Amino acid sequence: MADNAKLTLDGKTYEFPVITGTEDEKAFDIGKLRAQTGYVTFDEGYKNTGATQSNITFLDGEKGILRYRGYSIEDLSSKASFLEVAYLLLYGELPTKTQLSNFEETLNQHTLVHENLMKVFEVFPSGSHPMGQLMTLISALSSFYPDSLSPSKNPELVNLTIIRLLAKMPTLCSMIMKKGKGHPIVYPQNKYDYVTNFLRMSFGNVTDDYMPDKVVVDAMNTLLILHADHEQNCSTSTVRIVGSSHANLYASIGAGVAALWGPRHGGANQEVLEMLEHIRDIDKGDVKKVVAEAKDKKRLLFGFGHRVYKNFDPRAKIIKVACDNVLAKLGVNDPLLAIAKELEEAALNDPYFVERKLYPNVDFYSGLIYKALGFPTPMFTVLFALGRMPGWISQWKELREKNEDIGRPRQIYNGPALRPFVAVNDRK
């Protein structure tokens, strides 16, 4: 047990308790700092700020460790199904066989979306970005389920709201994909499992009886699991801060989707593929030039760098191997894969990237798999959202169960001091 942290300020010493996590992570509890000293902390981008004590995901960026509820990402992504992982994140334990089949059955009762939501969906122009559509549709679910607006006192209602959202995600995502292609929507068939159903709705047609290849189902399962949670990242923190105002689940998750869309966060998977195409078509494959421009801050290397991982991203390691396997099994020979590997090697051997500890992240190779599976590039971040859904929901659920305080950061104000108002006719 570490001693209290001591802070000496203007000749006075204050003590703050030290909090230690399961894996020996340490924090000073500054909950009384402002009340006692009149000061706040300043931490742009929250690089040193713990916003919550959570039981869901453990991440060690220095050692490249990621675990959900104590299980390693390596074990889960190779041995579990996405629904098992979703159950684990939501309820804290891996499901028994019976629990899993009950969970699956319950989800299957809620896969359809309200036909009036289809009308909201229909008005999106065909070229509108899939993430804008997803964000809107998820937020719009709150209008169809008014019982979700204030469910906090009824755990069964909370669970129903959660089940509805999780169950409808594959339907919503595949609807969006179909619109992009101008094809009619394929409805869910509840005899199929979660991932197979999603792939059938995305790649099947009303005119055929498409069944996805096992290679495709397995690859999708792995990718969804790898994206399922990542503790207090930008979108999850958004979900938590919105949820802390006691906003309903659909509104909170809609906000999380908005945060994920940004190219510094989940939107990077789309950017990576477009960057690789640009290198192929415009830079004529000259990765050295691309690395030089990144060093000169003329462009970002999308899929590189991470706020927390400063050694390697364990998800990227698994995805790189999966990418080789999936492309080989599907017989896809994508020249972009060779460019990606060349770019990775050039960057990893460059002092700029080595000194800054910039490694490929989860988004670097995932897009190449999505592309090989047949997804259009603008759908990539939607697939990230489909995977992240159980994580966002678990974080929202945990926050509400603990009844955490409303999130409300402070600031240091640097604008003008008080000045007299000048009437509009007297202004120069």
- Judged by beta carbon, residue 148 or residue 366, the one nearer ligand CMC is 366
For ligand CMC, give the closer residue by CB, 6 or 356. Answer: 356
Question: Site for ligand CMC (CB under 6 A): which residue of 104, 344, 363, 398?
Answer: 363
Check 218, 229, 313, 363 and give the catalytic one: 363
Q: Residues 172-211: x/- map of binding to ligand CMC (CB under 6 A)?
A: ----------------------------------------
233 binds ligand CMC (CB under 6 A): yes
Whether 306 is catalytic is yes
Catalytic residue among 129, 265, 306, 313: 306
Shortest distance, position 366 Cβ to ligand CMC, whole Å:
9
Residues 293-332 that bind ligand CMC (CB under 6 A): 294, 300-307
Cβ 305 to ligand CMC shortest distance, Å: 2
Least spacing, CB of residue 353 vs ligand CMC, in Å: 8
Query: Closest CB to ligand CMC among 209 and 355?
Result: 355
What track of x and - describes contact with ligand CMC for positions 16 through 45 (by CB under 6 A)?
-----------------------------x
Three-state SS sequence of the chain: CCCCEEEEECCEEEEECEEECCCCCEEECCCCHHHHHCCCCCCHHHCCCCCCCCCCEEEECCCCEEEECCEEHHHHHHHCCHHHHHHHHHHCCCCCHHHHHHHHHHHHCCCCCCHHHHHHHHCCCCCCCHHHHHHHHHHHHHHHCHHHCCCCCCHHHHHHHHHHHHHHHHHHHHHHHHHHHCCCCCCCCCCCCHHHHHHHHHHCCCCCCCCCCHHHHHHHHHHHHHCCCCCCCHHHHHHHHHHCCCCCHHHHHHHHHHHHHCCCCCCHHHHHHHHHHHHHHCCCCCHHHHHHHHHCCCCCCCCECCCCCCCCCHHHHHHHHHHHHHHHHHCCCCHHHHHHHHHHHHHHCCHHHHHCCCCECCHHHHHHHHHHHCCCHHHHHHHHHHHHHHHHHHHHHHHHHCCCCCCCCCCCCCCCCCCCCCCHHHCC
Q: Which residue has the closest beta carbon to ligand CMC?
A: 305
**204 versus 391: smaller Cβ distance to ligand CMC:** 391
Q: Identify whether 227 is a catalytic site residue.
A: no
Residue 241 CB, nearest approach to ligand CMC (Å): 17
Does 278 sit near ligand CMC (CB under 6 A)?
Answer: no
Among 134, 242, 279, 358, binds ligand CMC (CB under 6 A): 358
Nearer CB in complex with ligand CMC: 249/358 = 358
**Given candidates 181, 264, 288, 410, which one binds ligand CMC under the rule CB under 6 A?**
264
* Residues noted as catalytic: 306, 363
Contact residues: ligand CMC, CB under 6 A? 45, 230, 233, 264-266, 268, 294, 300-307, 356, 358, 361-363
